[in-house]
């Protein structure tokens, strides 16, 4: 069998390197199941400080057993290794770009664009489904959630939503994004999800265990492994409001992740620097806070609060 351009036999695990021109390669693991089945791609570490997904994928690279699988897994446990090692929040440090905003890539572009190009052309063609593991970066607090696509074909959107309903996260958030790793996979016809778990650039054994369970739930849903997981109560968010900083300065949030807000509630105050202009941000509708920025200092265009409406 050929996966990501490499020959691999049933029941075999193989560590490979996805070559990136003029840069370190991206480490990947291939697991070829003992029996035929679907292929799941798992990526983590697109943002180098989102540790729950990274540690989950790192452990999965050691613990997944292809002998117990029907189908295959392509695992990229640390896509942005440079950002991880440098402690760089949200960006590839070599070019300062957010890798989750530069799909599709360019083989002759900046490092982040070369990386995105290689992921698209090396991984996407072999995947029947993709999950991208994220979490709250060092300047973010969030409630566990999964983004599912709303900008793909009806069949791809429906397939991804059905899989999202098998997870243990409470909030299912419809997204119309197109330029991220998971959302560009959707544009290329691959059903995909982005799972967020963890907060504040930290991780815990409990969070890694819950994230691992979500991966297992997806693998069971795809019939790659056997598993019987009880359903959990979920809330489907049909519309999300994303508030960004109109100017740089000091940010004082008045909410917490998972908090329910009413229309007119104060979400936070932005104080400009250096002129000290004040801007108070209020909820324009009832909803639930999905995530917010915890950093005191923010730049123009930085995300501040996201709240969702059922």
Please compute the mean of the pLDDT values over residues 171-194 and round it to a whole number: 97
What's the CATH code of the domain at 284? 2.40.50.100
Record the tokens describing residue 126, joined without a space: 């072999």
Residues 104 and 135 in one domain: yes
Whole-number Å distance between alpha carbons of 95 and 100:
13
Domain termination residue (choose one: 235, 259, 288): 235
Residues 133 and 273 in one domain: no
Query: In what helix (H) or strand (E) does residue 205 lie, and over which residues does it extend?
Result: helix 205-221
Whole-number Å distance between alpha carbons of 260 and 277:
28
CB-count burial class (<10 Å; 0-12, 13-18, 19+) for 205: exposed
> Residue 231 has what pLDDT?
92
What's the CATH code of the domain at 230? 3.40.630.10
Residues 119 and 73 in one domain: yes
Question: Is the model's pLDDT at 271 over the cut of 90?
Answer: yes
Tally of structural domains, the chain: 2
Residues 82 and 194 in one domain: yes
> Residue 86 has what pLDDT?
95
Half-sphere exposure of 229 (CA within 13 A, CB side): 24
Question: Is the model's pLDDT at 134 over the cut of 90?
Answer: yes
Please compute the mean of the pLDDT values over residues 2-29 and round it to a whole number: 96
Q: CB-based contacts of 155: which residues, under 8 Å, 6+ apart?
A: none
When pLDDT is cut at 50, 70 and 90, the band that residue 153 belongs to is: very high
Question: What confidence tens digit (pLDDT) does each residue in 79-91 have?
Answer: 999 999 999 989 9
| Eight-class DSSP state of 25 | P
Whole-number Å distance between alpha carbons of 181 and 240:
20
What is the dihedral angle through the alpha carbons of 201, 217, 175, 138, rounded to the nearest 10 degrees?
A: 0
Range of the domain at 278: 239-309
Average pLDDT of the chain, as a whole number: 96
The pLDDT > 70 percentage for the chain reads 100
Please compute the mean of the pLDDT values over residues 219-225 and round it to a whole number: 98
Question: What confidence tens digit (pLDDT) does each residue in 97-119 have?
Answer: 999 999 999 999 999 999 999 99
Residues 173 and 261 in one domain: no
Question: Is the model's pLDDT at 42 over the cut of 90?
Answer: yes
Residues 249 and 201 in one domain: no
Residues 49 and 111 in one domain: yes
Domain termination residue (choose one: 193, 212, 235): 235
Please compute the mean of the pLDDT values over residues 296-302 and round it to a whole number: 96
Residues 90 and 39 in one domain: yes
Residues 230 and 98 in one domain: yes
Record the tokens describing residue 120, joined without a space: 């698209």
When pLDDT is cut at 50, 70 and 90, the band that residue 1 belongs to is: confident
Strands 70-76 and 129-134: unpaired
Residues 224 and 266 in one domain: no
Residues 138 and 193 in one domain: yes
Domain termination residue (choose one: 188, 207, 235): 235
Please compute the mean of the pLDDT values over residues 31-49 and round it to a whole number: 97
Question: What confidence tens digit (pLDDT) does each residue in 224-269 have?
Answer: 999 999 999 999 998 999 999 999 999 999 999 999 999 999 999 9
Residues 63 and 191 in one domain: yes
> Residue 310 has what pLDDT?
81
Question: Is the model's pLDDT at 133 over the cut of 90?
Answer: yes
Please compute the mean of the pLDDT values over residues 197-223 and round it to a whole number: 97
Please compute the mean of the pLDDT values over residues 107-133 and round it to a whole number: 97
Query: If we measure between CA atoms, which residue out of 73, 62, 15 comes closest to residue 224?
Result: 73
């Amino acid at each position: 069998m050929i996966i990501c351009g490499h020959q691999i036999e049933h029941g075999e695990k193989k560590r490979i390197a996805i070559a990136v021109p003029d840069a370190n390669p991206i480490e990947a693991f291939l697991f070829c199941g003992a029996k035929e089945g679907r292929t799941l791609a798992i990526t983590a570490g697109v943002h180098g400080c989102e540790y729950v997904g990274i540690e989950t994928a790192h452990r999965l690279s050691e613990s997944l057993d292809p002998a117990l699988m029907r189908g295959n897994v392509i695992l990229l446990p640390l896509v942005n290794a440079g950002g991880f090692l440098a402690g760089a929040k949200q960006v590839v440090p070599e070019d300062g770009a957010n890798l989750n905003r530069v799909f599709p890539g360019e083989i002759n572009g900046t490092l982040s664009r070369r990386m995105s190009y290689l992921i698209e052309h090396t991984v996407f063609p072999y995947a029947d489904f993709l999950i991208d593991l994220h979490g709250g970066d060092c300047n973010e607090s969030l409630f566990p959630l999964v983004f599912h696509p709303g900008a793909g074909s009806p069949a791809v959107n429906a397939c991804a939503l059905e899989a999202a309903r098998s997870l243990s996260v409470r909030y299912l958030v419809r997204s119309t994004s197109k330029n991220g790793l998971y959302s560009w996979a959707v544009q290329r016809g691959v059903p995909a999800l982005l799972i967020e778990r963890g907060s504040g650039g930290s991780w815990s054994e409990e969070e890694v265990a819950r994230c691992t369970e979500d991966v297992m739930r997806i693998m069971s849903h795809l019939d790659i492994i056997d598993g019987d997981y009880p359903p959990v109560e979920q809330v489907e968010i049909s519309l999300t409001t994303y508030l960004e900083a109109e100017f740089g300065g000091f940010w004082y949030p008045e909410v917490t992740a998972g908090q329910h807000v009413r229309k007119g509630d104060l979400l936070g105050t932005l104080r400009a620097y250096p002129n000290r202009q004040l801007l108070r941000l209020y909820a324009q509708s009832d909803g639930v806070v999905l995530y917010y920025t915890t950093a005191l200092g923010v730049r123009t265009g930085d995300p501040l609060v996201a709240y969702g409406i059922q």
